[in-house]
Structure 1
């Protein structure tokens, strides 16, 4: 029994340490302004995803018509707004198909040096705040093959596909002495080098819609799950009262 208790406590402590490590990190994450009840934001985000992400990144656990049903689009609207790909037969991808891309892993490995990850559940893996920060913190770095680096994802291989909208910016770092006596570069601010087609506020809103859609895509049933969870808790609370009253009734003659 003592050994079993030790194993349980060790497992709990390892799990908590994992959460601490996951929550840690040297980069401050900005809060993503997402709202899954904002259908118009999700529609804008879906179009942004189709226009900018779906050329290289698949979302192959999601179907186009599922998005249309959840967001209130007809199949025709889904085809017009989201589908830009064609199958091997040259026919336009159908709305009932998964959100796949033509690029295969072999070509991606040659062209980019690595496989291109799918994005269906990236928001569940990384979190909406991380995605929001990542898409807004690309900065110029001549040492990188793409000429860009990223605060949230150091030495990232992905080019900044939204640079025309955001513009080009450079990161300003300050040098401080660490506890070990070595110099550390601390991020201070971003400076715009070349303006984009959007203002800072417009770009932040654009990325916010995109991230909002990716959070939805990672768990389309999230709102229903939360609603059901509240109903289950209410039921359990009422049932606990009934069970307690029944227990008192059964045992009243014993005590």
Structure 2
């Protein structure tokens, strides 16, 4: 029993550390899964910038047409590249061997990344790449230090550098504290436009992590109402059965 409790404690601690994003301050994503225009824009961004390397192996193209307000024709004409069919899973052509040779490790599948990391982590991560000549792809990330991923969205955001303040901890050891970003070159989007685009991309990944979420919440209201009505009826029935006993 003690071993089980200890294991659960370690699991909870690991989850809390992961949710905190390694100590980085996370910005609220404030995604709205009822906003189909946001989900459609997020899907477009994912197809154009992410699906080359990152698969969604538990999601089918067809599901997008069923859930986020697109027709099959719109999905086939604008969201599917190569020889994939609308009923196929959203996989990538790049092999694990090639990915390891090029990037050091295969890019992870992102089907449940929003559930594993959280929407705030994703939203902050996508906006936190900065110039770092020491890294293989010339960029680093304040949320995911020493990340092995290039900044594929740099054309939209532009490039920025991270500013750090030198501080010392209680033991007198030097420590760098993140102080903000400074623009190096402009992208095709303004900062506000890019933030909104990353919110849309985050919303899409949150949707992919649980496509039935909105329907689950809708049905949940009826389930709660049923249970409330049933509770009242059960109480009245109990009173009727037990009235002679008392």
TM-score, normalisation: structure 2: 0.92
Partner of 1:219: 210
Partner of 1:231: 222
Partner secondary structure for residue 139 of structure 1: strand
Q: Deviations over 1:110-132 (max 9, x none)?
A: 11111121111111111111111
Q: Distance in 2 between matches of 1:228 and 1:119?
A: 27
Residue 162 (structure 2) pairs with residue 166 (structure 1): no
1:37/1:144 CA distance change after superposition, 3 Å: same
Q: Distance in 2 between matches of 1:136 and 1:157?
A: 16
Which structure 2 residues correspond to residues 165-204 of structure 1 after superposition, within 5 A? 165-204=156-195
Deviation at 1:142, TM superposition (A): 1.3
Match of 2:46 among 42, 45, 49: 49
Deviation at 1:234, TM superposition (A): 2.0
Partner of 1:88: none
Partner secondary structure for residue 197 of structure 1: coil
Partner of 1:250: 241
Partner secondary structure for residue 180 of structure 1: coil
Which consecutive residues of structure 1, in runs of 5 or more, have no partner in the other structure? Answer: 86-91
Deviation at 1:7, TM superposition (A): 7.1
Residue 105 (structure 2) pairs with residue 114 (structure 1): yes
Q: Deviations over 1:11-48 (max 9, x none)?
A: 76556544543443420111113111111111111111
Deviation at 1:208, TM superposition (A): 1.1
Partner secondary structure for residue 46 of structure 2: helix
Moved over 4 A (4+): 6-16
Partner secondary structure for residue 172 of structure 1: strand
1:35/1:178 CA distance change after superposition, 3 Å: same
1:13/1:94 CA distance change after superposition, 3 Å: closer
Asked if 1 retains the 8 angstrom alpha-carbon contact of 2:135 and 2:146, the reply is: yes
Asked if 1 retains the 8 angstrom alpha-carbon contact of 2:19 and 2:118, the reply is: no
Q: Distance in 2 between matches of 1:11 and 1:107?
A: 37
Partner of 1:71: 68
Partner secondary structure for residue 123 of structure 1: helix
Asked if 1 retains the 8 angstrom alpha-carbon contact of 2:165 and 2:177, the reply is: yes
1:179/1:168 CA distance change after superposition, 3 Å: same
1:15/1:252 CA distance change after superposition, 3 Å: farther
Q: Deviations over 1:67-102 (max 9, x none)?
A: 0121232222111111122xxxxxx21111111111
TM-score, normalisation: structure 1: 0.89
The alignment covers a number of residue pairs equal to 245
Asked if 1 retains the 8 angstrom alpha-carbon contact of 2:51 and 2:92, the reply is: yes
